[in-house]
């Protein structure tokens, strides 16, 4: 099964509109000839419009970092899927570990957000991953199995074409500690098997699974070379055009 590599930059709470525009303007020429990978940048909400405008007509796509599950209403501080779609946004990250850790995100809210986003026509990047304590307690499979089963509850198999999973071991995020390619591959394989058990082999075979957690130009090639690693969700190394572009070319094996 050929799966197109997908590299997404999660800018987290970084970059004003002006700084986001500057990054994308610098990135565009560096990746203009990349056809082997899908490239996505995910700025904060207030930077989305500027980045959508800067990326227009290029091979850089734009994603948000969160979305609310309701269509509209009394949800102060929240953003709906329709608001994203009508702003020119194509992707949305859901269930990042920082949202699970600091903002009370659960598998149930991940599920509700996924359903709303897919219904509105967004492509979703759903994050899963274990903490250090869970890994050391041999609970990695149990935790990720639960995140997938409960997070994906009631999702139609046909909608899975618009779903990407990001495996982000929490202990590897922003720490400089990357999972070894073999360690990451083992979990990616488990994620594909779990999705296969729910949605069948065809859906699982087509599913793209990104690795995230201290991915950088120096380790991207080896990680993405693994059989079940189909790209990356990048934090720190996505904040500068040259390192993000280098990471992309490494990931596609140039
Ligand atoms: P770092 O690449 O900074 O470790 O962040 C990974 C991440 O959380 C991307 O969503």
Q: What is the DSSP string of 119-171?
A: HTT-EEEEEE---HHHHHTT-HHHHHHHHHHHHTTT--GGGGGGEEEEE--GG
Report pLDDT for 66: 98
Average pLDDT over residues 198-207: 98
With a pLDDT cut of 70, the percent of the chain lying above it is: 100
173 pocket-lining for ligand 1 (C-beta < 6 Å):
yes
Average pLDDT over residues 157-176: 95
Distant-in-sequence, close-in-space partners of 37: CB < 8 Å, separation ≥ 6: 4, 5, 6, 7, 231, 248, 251, 252
Average pLDDT over residues 133-150: 97
Angle at 195 between CA 194 and CA 197, to 5 degrees: 65
Residue 26 has pLDDT above 90, yes or no: yes
pTM for the whole structure: 0.98
214 pocket-lining for ligand 1 (C-beta < 6 Å):
yes
Q: How confident is the model at residue 2 (pLDDT cuts 50, 70, 90)?
A: confident
d(CA 61, CA 52): 8
With a pLDDT cut of 90, the percent of the chain lying above it is: 97
CB neighbour burial string for 41-66, b if at least 16 within 10 angstroms, e if fewer: bbbbeebbbbbbebbeeeebbbbbbb
d(CA 15, CA 220): 24
Active site residues: 96, 168
Mean pLDDT of the chain: 97
Task: Convert the pLDDT of each residue in 45-80 to its tens digit.
Answer: 999 999 999 999 999 999 999 999 999 999 999 999
d(CA 204, CA 1): 10
Report pLDDT for 43: 98
Which residues constitute the domain of residue 199? 5-251
d(CA 138, CA 127): 20
Nearest to 120 by CA among 86, 160, 77, 154: 86
Nearest ligand 1 atom, CA 216: 2
Angle at 151 between CA 102 and CA 228, to 5 degrees: 100
Give 4 Cα–ligand 1 centroid separation in angstroms.
Answer: 21
Residue 1 has pLDDT above 80, yes or no: no
Q: How confident is the model at residue 178 (pLDDT cuts 50, 70, 90)?
A: confident
Report pLDDT for 103: 97
Task: Convert the pLDDT of each residue in 66-121 to its tens digit.
Answer: 999 999 999 999 999 999 999 999 999 999 999 999 999 999 999 999 999 999 99
CATH code of the domain containing 29: 3.20.20.70
Sign of dihedral through CA atoms 223, 33, 164, 3? negative
Q: How many domains does the chain have?
A: 1
Question: Which H or E run contains 112?
Answer: helix 107-119
236 pocket-lining for ligand 1 (C-beta < 6 Å):
yes
d(CA 168, CA 214): 9
Nearest ligand 1 atom, CA 236: 3
Give 119 Cα–ligand 1 centroid separation in angstroms.
Answer: 27
Residue 199 has pLDDT above 80, yes or no: yes
Residue nearest to atom 5 of ligand 1 (CA): 235
């Amino acid at each position: 099964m050929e799966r197109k590599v997908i590299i997404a930059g999660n800018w987290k709470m970084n970059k004003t509109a002006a700084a986001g525009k500057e990054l994308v303007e610098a990135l565009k020429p560096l990746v203009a000839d990349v056809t082997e990978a899908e490239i996505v940048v995910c700025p904060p909400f207030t930077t989305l419009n500027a980045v959508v405008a800067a990326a227009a007509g290029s091979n850089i796509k734009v994603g948000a970092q969160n979305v609310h599950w309701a269509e509209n209403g009394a949800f102060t501080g929240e953003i709906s899927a329709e608001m994203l779609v009508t702003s020119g946004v194509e992707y949305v990250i859901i269930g990042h570990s920082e949202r699970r850790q600091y903002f009370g995100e659960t598998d149930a809210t991940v599920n509700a957000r996924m359903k709303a986003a897919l219904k509105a026509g967004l492509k979703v990047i759903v994050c899963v991953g274990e903490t250090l304590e869970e890994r050391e307690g041999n609970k990695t499979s149990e935790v990720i199995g639960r995140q997938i089963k409960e997070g994906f509850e009631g999702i139609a198999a046909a909608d899975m074409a618009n779903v990407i999973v990001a495996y982000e071991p929490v202990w590897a995020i922003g720490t400089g500690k990357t999972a070894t390619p073999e360690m990451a591959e083992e979990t990616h394989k488990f994620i594909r098997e779990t999705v296969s058990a729910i949605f069948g082999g065809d859906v699982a075979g087509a599913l793209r699974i990104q690795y995230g957690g201290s991915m950088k130009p120096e380790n991207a090639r080896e990680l993405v070379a693994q059989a079940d690693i189909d790209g990356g969700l990048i934090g720190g190394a996505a904040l500068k055009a040259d390192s993000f572009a280098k990471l992309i070319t490494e990931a596609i094996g140039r």
